[in-house]
Amino acid sequence: MNFENTLSFARTMDEQDPLRRFREEFLFPQQNGKPFIYLCGNSLGLQPKSARTVLGQQLDNWQNLAVEGWFEGDSPWMFYHKELKKLMAPVVGANPAEVCPMNTLTVNLHLLMVSFYRPEQKRFKIIMEAGAFPSDQYALESQVRFHGYDPATAIIEVAPRPGEYTLRTEDITARIAENADELALVLFGGINYFTGQWFDMEAITKAGHAAGAIVGFDLAHAAGNVPVRLHDWDIDFACWCSYKYQNSGPGGIGGIFVHEKHFKNEQLDRFAGWWGYQETTRFKMEKGFIPEAGADGWQVSCSQVMPMALYHASLQIFEAAGFMGPLRKKSMMLTAYLIYVIDQVNQAVGYEQFKVITPENENDRGTQVSIIAQGDAKGIFDQLVTAHVLGDWREPNVIRLSPVPLYNSFEDVFRTGELLLKISKERAL
């Protein structure tokens, strides 16, 4: 498409947007009575207007049913997670039995690594992306130490080539092949939090399996953002948070995926808990752990009903929007338009004030656009916030902007570019 850096073009695009009505399903933060242009869904999604209603229904159940709420009412808590499983599965390309809402992301990563990081004397190494989100780094370091290995030798990090910001798939798969004899686990983020690069998850999985390793992904920045196909790509396991693109609220409940090919493997270790026990006999309170079938068997503690209710509110919006197909189509357009507008700003000021480090190829990115701002980058970010544009900041000089298709508009993108140009011109004086 031939974009135009004009308000009329942006508004025409919004008028033609089949998803435009979903913007009205969310609450935008305000400053001095004026709403923000919110471009920070990569960090915390907006609150659905329905969240209060859905949460209120569960509060009413608590009030009116008390402990009987586990088994009585319209949505008994004992089985409430099953309603979410049906809606989670299309978001991540899975079968409902393969997913489960539970805990939070890093807790789930540890629980899954108990099952899927099984180092042996020869095979004990893990390959991951350099510059992964710190929680992943810390989780892997501690898991390696727990098994008696040194992270310095057991963890292999794949870094971009000198002068580049993103990883090449051929470099990732080559490192996997080079270490095939010693590799126990390949664990990548689906999307890198800093650059916004969407890794070729299918190619990485094939390379990992060819090397004889288990392959897992942290989908914190991918779930609800890009159309992943966890089952079809034969990924062994994955976990994610739901408070970014899936709008479940700060600290919202996490999710897990375990491929069905592992369901009958009785040799898998796991940290067991009562809620992962076989559902039909759970209340017999007997010794000897028998896991519930599917991903539910990795549950430990009882369902977090209130966080699940908030997640449910957002997942119902995903369902109404047609899940990831329509969202991805709009996302690619919004993100391409944002990159175009940033380029227009650079052309207008006559130099590269803002360098985009997110991949140029639309198939290698989601909604997030990361830009290196020249000069007083933090000052520029602060000016954006003061002027009611809220992205987020990463040291030392990166501003992340994420136009989310459920609630952002083309006019949001145009207005952001307009403000970036104004700030750049003022600073050049």
Are residues 235 and 257 in contact, defined by beta-carbon separation less than 8 angstroms? yes
How many CB atoms within 10 Å of residue 16? 9
Q: Is 236 annotated among the ligand-binding residues?
A: no
134 annotated as a binding-site residue: yes
> Does 105 count as an annotated binding residue?
yes
136 labelled as ligand-binding?
yes
Q: Are strands 237-240 and 214-218 parallel, antiparallel or unpaired?
A: parallel
Looking from the CA of 367 toward its CB, the CA atoms found within 13 Å total: 35
Q: Three-state secondary structure along the chain?
A: CCCCCCHHHHHHHHHCCCCHHHHHHEECCEECCEECEECECCCCCCEECCHHHHHHHHHHHHHHHHHHHHCCCCCCHHHHHHHHHHHHHHHHCCCHHHEEECCCHHHHHHHHHHHHCCCCCCCCEEEEECCCCHHHHHHHHHHHHHCCCCHHHHEEEECCCCCCCCCCHHHHHHHHHHCHHHEEEEEEECECCCCCEECCHHHHHHHHHHCCCEEEEECCCCCCCCCCCCCCCCCCEEEECCCCCCCCCCCCCCEEEECHHHCCCCCCCCCCCHHHECHHHHHHCCCCCCECCHHHHHCCCCCCHHHHHHHHHHHHHHHHHCCHHHHHHHHHHHHHHHHHHHHHHHHHHCCCCEEECCCCCHHHECCCEEEEECCCHHHHHHHHHHCCEECEEECCCEEEEECCCCCCCHHHHHHHHHHHHHHHHHHHC
**d(C-alpha 91, C-alpha 102), whole Å:** 16
Burial class (CB in 10 A: 0-12, 13-18, 19+), 56: exposed
Residue 133 annotated as part of some ligand binding site = yes
Say if residue 135 carries a ligand binding annotation. Answer: yes
Taking the C-alpha atoms of residue 267 and residue 155, their distance in angstroms, rounded to an integer, is 25
221 belongs to an annotated ligand binding site: yes
Q: Has 60 been labeled as part of a binding site?
A: no
Burial readout 356-386 (b: 16 or more C-beta within 10 A, e: otherwise): bbbbeeeebbbbbbbbbbbeebeebbebbee
Binding-site positions read 105-106, 133-136, 218, 221, 243, 274
The annotated binding site for pyridoxal 5'-phosphate is made up of 105-106, 133-136, 218, 221, 243, 274
